[in-house]
Amino acid sequence: MSRPLTIAIDGPAGAGKGTLARRLADCYRLPHLDTGLTYRAVAHRLLANGWPLGDAPHAVEAARLVDLGNLDKATLSAHAVGEAASRVAVIPEVREILAAKQRAFARQPGGAVLDGRDIGTVVCPDALVKLYVTASAEVRARRRLAEIEANNGSGEFAAILADIERRDARDMGRADSPLKPAADAHLLDTSEMSIEAAFLAARAIVDDALAKRDGA
């Protein structure tokens, strides 16, 4: 029996991994999980109840209650929730509980696409395809500002850049499961790439892995 097509996509916020993950899931007809939403769900529960983000017992309780089939992306995509999620994600017990749920999702018979911060390194170290999607902090800040303005909001580039750099430092510097590329991950730097170019590059990597798996 051939290995399932599990695609693990990691990278910092704003690099385009979520869009890429959804495109690949559609292309190969695979279920997709944005694992960042699971951490956002924990953070959202803490915020909604007025609990401190560093309150490990309540964070662990919230993590146990996360339902992968009931993640409200519209609610969980708020910037404040994302910032809080990055702080909750440093709690080892929370990571352990959510990683177990994510692994269960990844074990679907035909495979799955998961994107996050530690998929190729911790959650799915045996994934058939591992991608590390990145872009410069400046490019990611410009993208974030454009997204805000497209939704009739306003922001300052310098503040957005500082926020991204703080989040990168927190994600890459945490002791448990820090953000980093897996040793065998394919690096995709999207700083100068369109969404379509990044998708085509990723699809070529996946197709090559499938051909090798199937002995083509």
pLDDT digits (tens, 9 = 90+) for 89-124: 999 999 999 999 999 999 999 999 999 999 999 999
Residue-level pLDDT at 132: 98
The pLDDT of residue 60 is: 98
| Per-residue pLDDT tens over the stretch 64-94 | 999 999 999 999 999 899 989 989 999 999 9
| 3-state DSSP of the chain | CCCCEEEEEECCCCCCHHHHHHHHHHHHCCCEEECHHHHHHHHHHHHHHCCCCCCHHHHHHHHHCCCCCCCCHHHHCCHHHHHHHHHHCCCHHHHHHHHHHHHHHHCCCCEEEEEECCHHHHHCCCCCEEEEEECCHHHHHHHHHHHHHHCCCCCCHHHHHHHHHHHHHHHHHCCCCCCCCCCCCEEEECCCCCHHHHHHHHHHHHHHHHHHHCCC
Mean pLDDT within 18-23:
97
Query: pLDDT value at position 216?
Result: 64
pLDDT above 90 for 22: yes
User: Per-residue pLDDT for 21 more than 90?
Assistant: yes
Please state, rounded to an integer, the average pLDDT across all residues of the chain. 95
Q: What is the pLDDT of residues 162-212, one digit of tens each?
A: 999 999 998 899 888 999 999 999 999 999 999 999 999 999 999 999 999
pLDDT in tens, 45-61: 999 999 999 999 999 99
How large is the average pLDDT for residues 131-136? 98
pLDDT on residue 2: 83
Give yes or no for residue 1 having a pLDDT over 80: no
Percent of the chain with pLDDT over 90: 91
